[in-house]
Each structure stands twice: as C-alpha cells, then as structure tokens.
Amino acid sequence: MSLYYETAAILTRPSTGGSLKTRIYGNKSLKSPPAQVYALAFESSKWSAILKEVVENSQLLQHERKLTPAVAILLVHDLLLAKKGISLPPSHGLRVAVERHKARLQAEFTKARIRRKCPTLDALKAAVEAQLGPVHPRWVRVNVIKTTVDDQLATTFRGFEVVPGIDEVIASAGMEKKVLCLDPHVPNLLAVSPGVDLTKTDAYKAGEIILQDKASCFPAYLLDPRTEDGDIIDACSAPGNKTTHLAAVLHPRRGFAAGQKRKQRIFAFEKDPERAKTLEKMVAMAGADRDVVIRGGQDFLKVDPYAPEYAHVGALLLDPSCSGTGIVGRDDAPEFHLPSVPSQGKNAKSNPKKRKHQTTASGFPQPSSSNPNITVADDNGNTTVLSSPATFKARLASLAAFQLAIIQHAMKFPAATKITYSTCSIHAAENEAVVAAAVSSPIARARGWRVLRREEMVRGMKEWPVRGDKDAYIEEVEGNERGEKRVKQIGTGGKKDIRRLTDEEIEACIRTVRGDGKGTMGFFVACFVRDRDSGDNDDDGPYLRDENGRIIRDENGIPTLKATGQKAVDFEALRRAREEEEDDGEEEPMIKSLSNPDDDDGEGPFLRDEHGRIVRGQDGMPVLKQGAGRGNDDGGREDDEDDKDDEEEEDEWDGFDD
C-alpha cells in the first residue's frame, strides 16, 4: 500500500528543486524500493493525460470516495498497463475498489484510444512516447580495452537488426523490434533502440559496454591523444565516462613516447571526494586502472603546472561545471494530470482561495510572465530553479569566469600542445564567448595557443555538420535586442582585451542540438592547440615583446616570460619570503635594483647592438649593462664564504631562470 501513497505524495508535493529521479532516490524515508517508485511515477505521469479521461468518464471517484485523484491515476495505470497488474494483495481494499470497475475502465480506455485514431495499443504507446518530446537512441560505447564491436554484435546484441542510419533507430521506439546502427562519426559507438535496458547484461556488468551519450564522446575523440603527446590530464573527471574513453582511445596506441622510457599516464582530477569514489569504481570496471592515476579530492586549479610529475603532460581534457542546459529535463517526468474531484453534494462550493496555482508533474506552479523560472543542472544531474533571468545571467557570468580560469590554467603546462574544452550548455556565454576570451588571454598569446581548425580535426569531428552558433555568439558579444553595445567581462578581460572569433574559428567550434533528429543532448566542444615549443624558443628570446619589438617590462624593469605569462622575478613574493625569514634588520637587502638609475636610458638594463636588439650570451640570456645589479639567489641568507664568492662573481650574470 505504501508504494501508491508514497508515489502519489512525491508527484503532488511542491518541489524545492531536483529532477524526479534525484528526489526519489534522495528520499531516505521511503519504505518502498526507489526504483519501483520511480518507474511507477514516470510511467503514470506519461499516461496521465489519457488516464485522467478514463477516471473522469468512468466516474470512478464518484463511486469510490476514499480514493484520491493521484492514487486513482496510479492504480488505474497498473490495472490497465502494468504486466502484473496492481501491486497489492487481491483482498486489499484499494485493489478491490478499482477492480470492481475494471470493465468500465477498460471500455473508457478503448474509447480514448479510438479518439486518438490509434488502431492498436502499440500504436497508442508510440503516440504517447512521441508526445514526450525528442526521442533519443540508447548510445552504447564499446570498451575496446576489454572487447571489440564484433564480439558485442555476436553476443550482447545478437538478435538486433543492424540498420544503416539513426533515423531507423529512433523510429523503432515503442516497437518490439530491436535495431542498432554503427555511428559514422565516433569509432566503437553504437546507437540502440530507445528504451532497451542493457544494465542487466553481462557486458554492462563487466565494463565491456558503457552507456554514454554520443556528444559526451566528442571531447576524448577530438583530443586524439597519441604517444608523442605524453601524459594526459582529465581535469574534472567524475563520473569517469570521458576518462575511460581517453584510456580506450590510447589502448591500441599503447607504447612509449619517442625518447622516453616511461609509459603514458592519464591523471584524473576530481575535487569532490564522494564523486572521486564513483570515478575510481568506473575506472576499475573499465579496466583502465593501469593507465589512470586518480587524484581524488584534488582541485585541478590548485595543481602546480610546473611540478616535475606533470612535466610530460601534453594533452588536457577540460569538461568543467556548467549550467547543464543541454540536458535539463532528460530525467524529469512528464506533466502529471489529475482528474477533477467530484463535488460533495448540492451545496458544495469550490474554494478559489485554496489553490492559487495549478500544479504540474513535479509540483511546481505553472510559470507566468510575472514569475518566469529557469532550470539549470549541476554535475550530479540535480536541477535548480532560478527565480529570474537576471539571476540566471549572473550565474552564467560566474560559470564563464570559472571555465575561463580552468582553460588558462591548463595553458600553463609547459609541454601541453592540445586542450579540449566542453560543456553541456546551450548558451554562447559558456561556449563561443569563453573560447574567444581564452584565445585572447595573455597566456594564450604568449604561448601561441589557437583554435584547432576544422580541416585539422580527426575525420569524424571534421565531418560533423553542426558547428558553432555565430548568431548566438554575436548577440552575446554585441548586446541585447535594443542594440546596446556591450561586451561581458570575463575574468580580467574587457572589451578591448577580448577579440572576436573569426568565421573560421566559429566553424572550428562543434555543437550538438537536442531534438534536431541526430539523437544527442545539447553539447559544445572546441580544441586549442599550439605548435610544439611555439612561442618559447624564437629569435627574440624568452620574453614577451610589444609591436615594436621592445621587451615588455613592468615598473621595476622586469620582463614577462613567454613560457608562463608571468614575471621573470616576482618582487612581491621575494619580499614576503624575506620578511618571513628575517631574524633581525641588519642583513643586506635581498633585492637590488636591476639597473643603475643614473644610466637609465629608457631601454632597460640590458646591452643592445646597433640595431637596438638585446645582446645575448651563448645561453640565449641577455647581457646586463655595466653596473647593473642582481638579487641573491639564496633569498638573502649568506655566510662569509658566499659573500666572498659574490664579490668575485659580481660582474657575471646567468640571466633569469626561465
């Protein structure tokens, strides 16, 4: 009995946010199995528009006063549509109350089918499924670490008809015939008939097949990691689909990079300890634990890119938190239609004050023009209702700043030459606009990062037809509908700092659109690349220069390194270190001027030739003008022997460490 009452309570109770599945599985007070409650809630909601007619036309609630509208819908659903009927003992009062009207209920159900011009029950089921919105295939990635596509076609998918295209797969929804097609864009990916449950198969339990949306497979495939790329980082890994896909892409290419005696590793970062446990389980199940090093509880943004263990990281996959607008509603139940309540006699009066809002399936008031609600999802699939467009825009701006920070941090890794950036958002503010801000950033300019062009991509991504949304991007950049010119500031960049993406760069961005017939969720991915050693070793040395070829310096005359985008010497950090280590105030100043004020000619402290170019030694480092000083390498702590050595070497300078 608790199954029907608990399910009715969840469907009619006002919600504080979260998908139907999240609200059910997160309810620790349920006595009934959550899976059973969810199945009953979802299926009954899906059929509730028809069942509402059946209950009302059969006058069930007039005859059975103890039934509530919600419980009546649930019981009638199981009576007419569930294979095992009502899940109650035969003598239970609720079951008896409904089954005594079985003939009348079945007659009204038949009339409802005929009104919808459906000749059979299967045709009616297909019509109901079609009203739920876009139908998606069941996407299955064959895990080549453990098996092959041919093996799975001969075992798990034996009896499935192989069809040439996704249209045939989508059309098989609601039919008994099971079909599949091999995806033409992503290797080892299958599209299977919607609704097919593969979670109970041996292949799924053994990690041989992984349920993963097609769009979610794009980042690892686009990154295309190879042995020469060295180690790989997945910056935001849980639950592990993309991490295990990276391992699968590497599997047939396993080996050692040229000149290295160590195998490639995948560093998987997940700052949430609980999600890291899920990641660990999935990596082990997929057989990828030999190649994946899990950094559970570690925040990628706090990782030192220059740490020795990351010296060989050449490729990074970034899939940071986003608004989740490409997947919202995927697990939500359809609207739960309730039959009208019969009046309690002649003098019964409706009380208009009792219910101010009509409720929908999840218990939300119907949105009105005065109270528009926008729903977003987090990494766990939990949805949140934002109260106003202004709140939503503020959230997008905050997310975009975080996403940009992730990209810029990834660009600092010394050996990195490839980065993919992806979101499950439909908004240009998180997609094309973030890409524009990233390629305009100082670190990108300093190290030569650019957007990977379409013609340079792997075949499947080059052939994918849906590209960046130019109109949405221009609208985001140029302003609102009244034509007001504005550019959103992301991070520290302003209008003059962020250049527009070219048409070629927008074409290089990849999108998927939910409901366009291609069977995917809403998604975005782009790839940043740079030539190996680009911007680090050129004829102008290791420092940034302006358009006139002059080294860019700060007020202290310190140049900026191309490799990191940071100052060659951080005076403030040295000062703080000095203050912490000082025992008394009698030591010599740790920091000396890099140039002699009397000799300041506006060109800095380095010697130049007759063409104005800085003179460099054999090691490529600039030569100081006579009389220029330098800071001590040991942070200011010297003994007498060090003083003597410094006096002997005061005319020698090895340059700034790059």
For residue 187, the model assigns a pLDDT of 97
| Residue in 181, 322, 424, 527 annotated catalytic | 424
What are the extents of the domains in the chain?
A: 2-132, 138-211, 218-323+392-529, 542-633
**Structure tokens, 286:** 């997929």
Of all residues in the chain, the percent with pLDDT exceeding 70 is: 72
Q: What's the average model confidence in pLDDT over 278-301?
A: 96
Question: Is the confidence at residue 1, as pLDDT, over 70?
Answer: no
Question: Is the confidence at residue 194, as pLDDT, over 50?
Answer: yes
For residue 16, the model assigns a pLDDT of 54
Strand stretches in 468-574, DSSP E? 510-512, 523-529
| CA atoms of 159 and 169, how far apart (whole Å) | 15
* pLDDT tens-place string over residues 19-38: 787 788 878 889 999 889 99
Contacts of 412 (CB under 8 A, 6+ apart): 305, 306, 443, 564, 565
Average pLDDT of the chain to the nearest whole number: 81
Determine whether the annotation assigns residue 57 to a binding site.
Answer: no
Amino acid at site 155 = T
* pLDDT tens-place string over residues 372-384: 445 555 544 444 5
Higher-scoring residue by pLDDT: 577, 131: 131
* pLDDT tens-place string over residues 43-83: 999 999 999 999 999 999 999 999 999 999 999 999 999 98
> Rounded to whole angstroms, what are the CA distances from 544 to 191, 231, 403, 541, 634?
50, 28, 25, 8, 27
Determine whether the annotation assigns residue 639 to a binding site.
Answer: no
For residue 409, the model assigns a pLDDT of 98
Determine whether the annotation assigns residue 388 to a binding site.
Answer: no
Q: What's the average model confidence in pLDDT over 323-348?
A: 71
Q: What's the average model confidence in pLDDT over 378-404?
A: 75
For residue 625, the model assigns a pLDDT of 73
> In this predicted structure, which of 119-123, 203-207, 250-254, 373-377 has the lowest mean pLDDT?
373-377
Determine whether the annotation assigns residue 52 to a binding site.
Answer: no
138-211 against 218-323+392-529: fold identical: no
| CA atoms of 490 and 497, how far apart (whole Å) | 10
Determine whether the annotation assigns residue 240 to a binding site.
Answer: yes
Determine whether the annotation assigns residue 431 to a binding site.
Answer: no
Instruction: Label the pairing between strands 161-162 and 231-234.
Output: unpaired
For residue 365, the model assigns a pLDDT of 32
- CA angle 279-282-285, nearest 5°? 150
Number of helical (H) and strand (E) elements in the chain, helices listed first:
22, 15
| Residue 509 per-residue DSSP state | S
| CA atoms of 82 and 75, how far apart (whole Å) | 10
* pLDDT tens-place string over residues 226-248: 988 999 999 999 999 999 999 99
* pLDDT tens-place string over residues 558-612: 777 766 666 777 666 666 767 766 655 544 444 344 444 444 455 667 778 777 7
Distance of CA 26 to the CA centre of its chain: 23
For residue 476, the model assigns a pLDDT of 85
For residue 15, the model assigns a pLDDT of 60
Q: Dihedral angle at the C-alpha atoms of 510, 514, 518, 520, nearest 10 degrees?
A: 80
Determine whether the annotation assigns residue 239 to a binding site.
Answer: yes
Determine whether the annotation assigns residue 367 to a binding site.
Answer: no
Q: What's the average model confidence in pLDDT over 402-417?
A: 97
DSSP states of 519-543: ----EEEEEEE--TTTTTSSTTTTB
Of all residues in the chain, the percent with pLDDT exceeding 90 is: 54
Amino acid at site 509 = C
Instruction: Decide if 424 is catalytic.
Output: yes
Q: Is 5 exposed, middle or buried (0-12, 13-18, 19+ CB in 10 A)?
A: middle
For residue 333, the model assigns a pLDDT of 65
Cis before residue 273, ω within 30 degrees of 0? no
CATH of 218-323+392-529, one of 3.40.50.150, 1.20.1440.230, 3.40.50.300, 3.90.1150.200: 3.40.50.150
Q: Does domain 138-211 have CATH number 3.30.70.1170?
A: yes
